[in-house]
Amino acid sequence: MATVAGKKAKKAEEEEQPAAAAAAAAEEEEEEEYVVEKVLDRRVVKGKAEFLLKWKGFSDEDNTWEPEDNLDCPDLIAEYMQKHKEKEEKKKEGKRKAASEASGDSEERGSKRKKEEGEKARGFGRGLQPERIIGATDSSGELMFLMKWKNSDEADLVPAKEANIKCPQVVISFYEERLTWHSYPTEEEEKKEEEKKD
């Protein structure tokens, strides 16, 4: 049914309304012909274009898809294509890159950075020469020395492991300074201590 009807859709040139003209032309011909009232949609199936057609005298439930090649209603198709041409072009432009729209004034990351005094520069990273160790602590879980640096009054903590390698003499001085001497208890004194406890 569809293929035959498609061929019969014609338009008289003088008429303004293609559908009406087609209808007029159709009236003069056989009654089995079917007239395209309007082109509603377009799709591509297996590389071939097809159009969704509304048939004059039929309800929308009878709309059918017809291959482009079978149709002979160029003006109806042209009308449809004109309407949708702009839309197709816009669709290709749908994607918008960052520079054009969205990111203009958004967050950015600094392209340059100044290194300020005291920032992250701690311990040996400050590039100073160790002068002497003035204290120690292991409350962080790791043995740390409080290091006094040459030409600076700011002491800070360095890992003992690092100091042992980088300035062993300074470490040794620290330990030597803190040696405290106890005389070795005699055997008699030890016994007295034990008796006291009892």
Partner 1 sequence: MISFTCYNVTDDRFSKFKNKGKDSAKRREKRIEVCVQLRKAQKDEEVCKRRNMSMSSVVDEEALSPEYISDEKVASLSIEDIIKEVKSSCRESQTRGCQAARKLLSQERNPPMKEIIDAGLLSCFVAFLGMDDEPSLQFEAAWALTNIASGTPWHTQQVVDHGAVQPFISLLTSPHLHIREQAVWALGNIAGDGPHYRDALIDCGVIPAILALTCSSLQVGYLRNITWTISNLCRNKNPFPPLSAVQQLLPCVTQLLHHSDQDILCDSCWAISYLTDGDNDRIDIVVKTGIVPRLVELMGHDELSVMTPALRSIGNMVSGSDLQTQMVIDAGVLAMLPRLMRHPKASVQKEAAWALSNIVAGPCKQIQQVITCGLLPLLVELLRTGDFKTQREAVWAVTNFTSGGTVEQVVQLVQSGALEAIIDLLQVKDAKVILVILEAINNMLLAAEKIRETEKLTLLIEEMGGLDRIEMLQNHSNEMVYQAAHNLIEKYFADVSELYNALQLSVTRV
User: Least CB distance from residue 193 to partner 1, whole Å?
Assistant: 16
Which residues are within 8 A (CB) of 87 and not within 5 positions of it... i.e. 6 or more apart? Answer: none
CB closer to partner 1 out of 17 and 27: 17
CB 135 within 8 A of CB 150: no
Binding mask 126-155 for partner 1 (x = CB under 8 A): xxxx----xxxx-xx-----x----xxx-x
User: Least CB distance from residue 188 to partner 1, whole Å?
Assistant: 17
Binding mask 155-184 for partner 1 (x = CB under 8 A): xxx-----------------xxxxxxxxxx
Binding mask 20-59 for partner 1 (x = CB under 8 A): --------------------xx----------x-x-----
Which of 62, 76, 83 lies closest to 9 in space, CA to CA?
76
Which of 86, 87, 54 lies closest to 73 in space, CA to CA?
54
Q: Residue 108 corresponds to which amino acid?
A: E
User: Least CB distance from residue 101 to partner 1, whole Å?
Assistant: 7
CB closer to partner 1 out of 90 and 196: 90
Largest CA distance in the chain: 143
Binding mask 59-98 for partner 1 (x = CB under 8 A): -x----------------------xx--x--xx--xxxxx
- Element containing residue 22 per DSSP (H, E): helix 18-28
Q: What are the CA-CA distances from residue 104 to residues 94, 98, 99, 107 (Å)? A: 19, 8, 7, 9
User: Least CB distance from residue 147 to partner 1, whole Å?
Assistant: 10
Which residues are within 8 A (CB) of 60 and not within 5 positions of it... i.e. 6 or more apart? Answer: 54
CB closer to partner 1 out of 47 and 127: 127
From the centroid of its chain, how far is CA 7? 53
Rule CB under 8 A: which of 101-130 touch partner 1? 101-103, 106-107, 109-122, 124-129
Q: Residue 127 corresponds to which amino acid?
A: G
Distance CA 167, CA 31 (A): 110
Footprint of partner 1 (CB under 8 A)? 40-41, 52, 54, 60, 83-84, 87, 90-91, 94-99, 101-103, 106-107, 109-122, 124-129, 134-137, 139-140, 146, 151-153, 155-157, 175-184
